[in-house]
Amino acid sequence: MTTRGDNLIVEPVARLIEELGKLPGIGPKTASRLTFFLLRAEDDQARALAEAIRAMKEQVTLCVRCFNITVGELCPICTSTSRDPSKICVVEEPLDVLAIERTGAYRGLYHVLHGHIAPLEGIYREDLKIDQLLARVRGEPVDEVILATNPNTEGEATAFLLLKDLAPLGVRVTRPARGLPTGGDLEWADPDTLGSALEGRREL
């Protein structure tokens, strides 16, 4: 999109607007608002942001065991002595680890796949950390693998594929319950969620 006047935006400003516009959910208007904010901001603030981006890319790596993000070799969860090594919770992304940790309901280990199977997007089995998961199940004292991939089509397909791979290894494979969200309204639940909730009903 080039409109009259855009040639007046000096190159370093145009470049920052362009780079910010590549971020997800940041359109051209937001990108220029942020750019002009940074232009007015203290040098220190802008430098701290640039430095934080650089430092994160340089220092943050993936845990060699569970592929969660970390600095150094192993992540804080893998090095913790208070976690139960007999359980591995498989998630799609590092943010999912944080979501589960915030519940306080899980004390086992994790394994981050870094995506889900999506052949149409060009994401295949070998793009995910699946072989590494199978190696862990074979080599570590695991008795349960919780497949906490997202409750959507791709997540279900990924979980189904993992189930096939894990079945011969003699490990218990589970999946978090589907049902009505807490605080939700039965009237507004989609048919699939309500169906899952009825199917998974429990004795009181």
Q: Is 32 in the site for a second copy (CB under 8 A)?
A: yes
81 binds a second copy (CB under 8 A): no
Binding mask 82-111 for a second copy (x = CB under 8 A): -----------xxx-xxxxxxxx-------
Q: Is 57 in the site for a second copy (CB under 8 A)?
A: yes
- Strand 144-147 to 84-91 pairing: parallel
Residue 31 or 130: which CB sits closer to a second copy?
31
Nearest of 101, 94, 145, 154 to residue 123 by alpha carbon: 154
Q: At its nearest, how many Å lie between a second copy and the CB of residue 61?
A: 10
At 111, phi and psi to the nearest 5?
-145, 120
How far does CA 49 lie from the centroid of its chain? 23
Contact 86, 137 (CB under 8 A): no
- Identified binder of a second copy from the candidate list 27, 47, 107, 153, rule CB under 8 A: 47
72 or 195, CB closer to a second copy?
A: 72
Q: How far is the CB of 31 from a second copy (least distance, A)?
A: 11
Query: Contact 97/104 with Cβ under 8 angstroms?
Result: no
Q: Does 64 bind a second copy (CB under 8 A)?
A: no
CB neighbours of residue 204 within 10 Å: 3
Determine if 135 is a binding residue for a second copy (CB under 8 A). Answer: no
Residue 36 near a second copy by CB under 8 A: yes
Helix (H, G, I), strand (E, B) or coil at 146: strand
DSSP state of 118: B
For 30-51, the three-class secondary structure string (H helix, E strand, C coil) is HHHHHHHHHHHCCHHHHHHHHH
Binding of residue 50 to a second copy (CB under 8 A): yes
CB of 181 to a second copy, least distance (A): 17
Interaction site with a second copy (CB under 8 A):
3-13, 15-16, 18-20, 22-26, 30, 32-39, 43, 45-60, 69-71, 75-77, 93-95, 97-104
